[in-house]
Structure 1
């Protein structure tokens, strides 16, 4: 890995903020960031962007951050963080996060507070640290990427949330309704470094976040390759099963025992080529859904993402403040 980047603290931090939630929400985000900047005697430039503008704004901010030895900061949920990560990783600049999502796996894994004000304050004293990211056909993912049933679950969840509001109960109900429908099995040709096999599965899930996997009960910590730490990521694949068995797996995941099910296979890898029978297929990564040309190459990115992470003492202080 390259050595850590050194930032010029006199250069403004560049914030990319999802403006989809309206004026009052934007004012609240602005207030949190400006208070943190003022308290630290730092400067910042705030870029508010609609979802359709996020990628372009993030690229411009990342290029500016690299030129000024500063950092680009994502303020928002998974989609915003992923858009900024794509740009920061491509540019090679440092990136910060003020998380506003539901689960915030990426932030929690790297010691970033999930309370926005604390996260913004910690940014002012954070240092760029290389962290592992995965890619699918060159697209960066921080937490997970998947094909098959999981993208359908995400789409249905968003439909239900737009009608009934955002809550975990709505998400659970949407998942149950999705699983009760009949779903086509994927036929995949999987190539892991010359070992090729043909499989049938309702979904293939690729994880780059140990916290998320362990919460649903998939624990690969005893694997000799040490996945998700030293150049490996994890795959979770379901064997062909019926509807009731699928609902049972969802309940196992909710109780943290998914990995104990006989119908679940998990393994570690650094590069894997997946060839479905279709020329294009829906892929979900970090909550975003796109159509990609096949075959699909999943791999650990050769270059890390330089994430603004709290210094050990700052992380301890923030934990004490949030207690």
Structure 2
């Protein structure tokens, strides 16, 4: 896929997860339109409910491609993932205004996390290729997983509904999920001419260097023979297997993750590869498996193919000095 045409004078298409008319939505529109006026640029702000988001993103991406412009995701990881899926399929440029809790994708590529600063940064950016991966053709930018981690994400959303959005709430939800973890997965994993049967609490596959660094998983320890240094952005992803452990060991793993030392834990196994195929043992005859991708949770038919996509995402970012 060639670099898309990009004309800075064309109108940007901002896709916002939310309903127009709400206080936060109105404030978001005012900030975006104010930044556009200040810079002499034009754009359209499109609000969508969660059920409408994918359709709105596809239409916005098609228009962005036709107009040599870009579609811009305004929201957290789930919103950014949905817009990225549409932008990657269309081949248009994409921008990001992060409004999530962790914002790993935006931060890895240099975008500020404060909305006004992010807009100014975006309006001076140009399309650059960035690595994206997929699980069964569903794009993911940060990570994908099965087993315990999707359960953790669902618990985190429940806690956020009760206690609000913060990293402390996310940590508390994660601890609660880990302490009651019981279900073990039996997986056949194939990668780069290797096949292994494993029992695990979760399989986590990372595509984001920043997140892996913060967890202490960014070095190439345990990488496959012949793979390059580095976990992501060089055509590789990092697979992490959490071995079945007891409650005290689980607490220790959680603390190591918070301290960025997860790679040193004995209950963790990891390897770097370009792609892998995962075949879970059937649970009660089910053919579908619960998976997570960039904070979203869904069901997919096995086997699961996880790989770096050959075509990049064209992300609006500023060139490094």
| TM > 0.5 | yes
Q: How does 1:119-138 map to 2 (within 5 A)?
A: 119-138=118-137
**3-state SS of 1:252 partner:** helix
Q: How does 1:287-302 map to 2 (within 5 A)?
A: 287-302=295-310
2:249 is matched with 245
**3-state SS of 2:16 partner:** strand
**Aligned equivalents of 2:189 and 2:170: distance in 1?**
31
How far did residue 312 of structure 1 move?
Answer: 3.9
Q: Does the 8 A contact of 2:148 with 2:181 survive in 1?
A: no
**Aligned equivalents of 1:257 and 1:95: distance in 2?**
33
**3-state SS of 2:277 partner:** strand
2:228 is matched with 225
1:36 is matched with 35
Post-superposition, which runs of at least 4 consecutive aligned residues in structure 1 deviate over 4 A? 221-224
How far did residue 193 of structure 1 move?
Answer: 2.9
1:234 equivalenced with 2:238 (yes/no): yes
**Aligned equivalents of 2:40 and 2:233: distance in 1?**
35
Aligned counterpart in structure 2 of residue 266 of structure 1, from 248, 257, 270: 270
Deviations 1:92-148 (A, max 9, x none): 000000010111111111111111111111222210000001100000000000000
**Aligned equivalents of 1:79 and 1:85: distance in 2?**
10
Deviations 1:61-113 (A, max 9, x none): 00111111110000011111000000000000000000101111111111111
1:275 is matched with 279
How far did residue 21 of structure 1 move?
Answer: 9.2
**Aligned equivalents of 2:216 and 2:121: distance in 1?**
31
1:181 equivalenced with 2:180 (yes/no): yes
Q: How does 1:158-197 map to 2 (within 5 A)?
A: 158-197=157-196
**3-state SS of 1:9 partner:** coil
How far did residue 182 of structure 1 move?
Answer: 4.1
**Aligned equivalents of 2:20 and 2:4: distance in 1?**
33
Q: How does 1:203-222 map to 2 (within 5 A)?
A: 203-221=202-220
Q: Does the 8 A contact of 2:175 with 2:251 survive in 1?
A: yes
Unaligned runs of 5+ in 2: none
1:101 equivalenced with 2:100 (yes/no): yes
Bigger drift between 216-225 and 104-113 goes to 216-225
Q: Does the 8 A contact of 2:125 with 2:316 survive in 1?
A: yes
Unaligned runs of 5+ in 1: 314-323
Q: Does the 8 A contact of 2:19 with 2:47 survive in 1?
A: no
Aligned counterpart in structure 2 of residue 256 of structure 1, from 257, 260, 278: 260
Which structure: greater helix fraction? 1
TM-score normalized by structure 1? 0.93
Q: Does the 8 A contact of 1:125 with 1:311 survive in 2?
A: no
**Aligned equivalents of 1:50 and 1:21: distance in 2?**
9
Kindly tell me the number of residue pairs found equivalent between the two proteins: 312
From the superposition, tell whether residues 107 and 182 of structure 1 become closer, same or farther in structure 2 (CA, over 3 Å). closer
Root mean square deviation, CA, Å: 1.6
Bigger drift between 56-65 and 214-223 goes to 214-223
**3-state SS of 1:52 partner:** coil
